[in-house]
Structure 1
């Protein structure tokens, strides 16, 4: 896969470009973006070798789509129209059901691999791209059986070569699970940030007291609303379900404190401590 086209050269697209190029310097990375300024920055940072436009992807061995999921749903059928019979298109979206659905009957469905590399930071844009972002991280691949074997084999080798573990899941299951482990944590962080900002209007010193615990908990509130709003929209049913469970747990915890049942408060936190065993080894 020598000619790689990155549609979107921000955190995910840019970081993939860095690692792929480091692993194989002969690869030529072509960047495609709505904004010319983004491509100029990507060139300046050596994330890409050349600028390109959509029509150029007929020359692609691999196209990596790393744009908001609503834009992916709109653009993916057109990209598949343009890809050659020997080219492969992959997407890196945080939701999978709608993306897989939009191309389920496309004549070139076999040239598409739906995936979700579970890695990232709260930063966005080309300057957020970093080397080694995907090392040791999991890449969820959906509907692998619908992709031509020879193409999926090449792509999966490319991603394992940069340190990723491959896990297979169907799109519905993926979206349900990711609502708990990613989407809910982002909403919690956004709303914690909102709560503290509203309080800070009256208490100017509050941020002087914010320690590393607050900083790590609210870190995700710095994430891009442009990226996350479409994710919540596409995964609305699962997100609502997880929010209802989370709100019930918060309400229950509040009631325990209200009624001075601190033995139960202790037990709730002690049972939640089990998360450290589950997450052992995850950074």
Structure 2
């Protein structure tokens, strides 16, 4: 896979380009973006070797699509129309069901591999790209059986070479689980930030009094709305279900507070501390 085309050269696409280039120095990375300024910045940073357009991807060994999920759904059939029989298209979207559905009957479905590398930061754009972002991270692959074996084999070898673990999951299951472990945490962060901004009108007070706990909790509120609004829209049903459960837990905690039942609050927190044992295998 020498000729790689990155559609989207921000945090995910750019970081993949860095790590692929590190492990496969002879690879040529071609960048595709709606904005020429984005491609110029990617060139300046050394994320890509050349600018390209969609019409060029007939020459691609691998196309990596890392753009907002609504744009992926619209563009993916066209990308598959243009890919050669020996080329592979992968996407890195945070939702999988709608993306898989839009190409389920495409004549070149075998040339597509749906994936979701579980990695990222709150930053976006080419300047957000960093080396080693995917080391030790899980890459969820969906419907692998629908992709030509030789093509998936090459791609999965590439992704394991840059440090990712591969896990297989169906798209429906993926979207249900990711609503809990990713999408809900972003909503929680956005709404905590909103609550503080609305109540603490003096920005200096926020700056002076906010500790590292607050900063880490609202970190995700700095994430791109352009990226996250389509994710919430595509995974609406699952996200609403997780919100219902989260709100129920918040309401329960509030009632315990009102009842001065701090023994129960202690037990709630103690039982939840178990999460650190789970996360020790992730972080």
TM-score range, shorter chain: over 0.9
CA positional deviation for 1:202: 5.4
* Number of positions where the alignment pairs a residue of Structure 1 with one of Structure 2: 283
Question: What's the CA shift string for 1:226-249, capped at 9, x where partnerless?
Answer: 000000000000000000000000
TM-score (norm 1): 0.99
Matches within 5 A, 1:30-41: 30-41=30-41
How far off its partner does 1:282 sit?
2.2
Mapped to 1, the partners of 2:95 and 2:38 lie a distance apart of 24
Distance 1:39 1:56 in 2: 15
Aligned partners of 1:46, 1:204: CA distance in 2, in Å?
38
Once residues 90 and 206 of structure 2 are traced to their aligned partners in structure 1, the CA distance between those partners, rounded to angstroms, is 45
SS of 1:26's equivalent in the other structure is: coil
- CA positional deviation for 1:200: 1.7
Per-residue CA distance 1:129-187 (angstroms, 9 max, x = gap): 00000000000000000000000000000000000000000000000000000000000
1:202 and 1:16 mapped to 2: Cα distance? 40
User: What does residue 86 of structure 1 align with?
Assistant: 86
> Quick one: structure 1 residues 203 and 85, their matched pair in 2 at CA, closer, same or farther if it must change by over 3 Å?
closer
Provide the rounded CA distance (Å) in 1 between the counterparts of 2:207 and 2:199: 10
* Partner Cα distance (2:246, 2:34) in 1: 37
1:27-72 superposed Cα distances (whole Å, 9 cap, x missing partner) = 0000000000000000000000000000000000000000000000
- Mapped partners of 1:273, 1:279: distance in 2: 10
Secondary structure of the residue aligned to 2:132 is coil
Aligned residue in 2 for 1:259: 259
Q: Secondary structure at the match of 1:136?
A: coil
Residues 1:108 and 2:92 are matched in the alignment: no
Deviations 1:171-212 (A, max 9, x none): 000000000000000000000000011112157513311000
1:53 equivalent in alignment to 2:53:
yes
The alignment yields a C-alpha RMSD, in angstroms, of 0.8
Residue of structure 1 equivalent to 2:227: 227
Name the CA distance, whole Å, in 2 between partners of 1:60 and 1:111: 12
Q: Displaced runs of 4+ in structure 1, greater than 2 A? A: none
Q: Distance in 1 between matches of 2:198 and 2:169?
A: 40
Supply the distance in 1 between the matched residues of 2:206 and 2:132 (Cα, whole angstroms): 36
Name the CA distance, whole Å, in 2 between partners of 1:34 and 1:86.
26
Counterpart-to-counterpart distance in 2, 1:203 and 1:128: 26
Distance 1:202 1:210 in 2: 12
TM-score of the two chains, using structure 2 as the length reference: 0.99
Structure 1 residues 203, 90: closer, same or farther in 2, change over 3 A?
closer
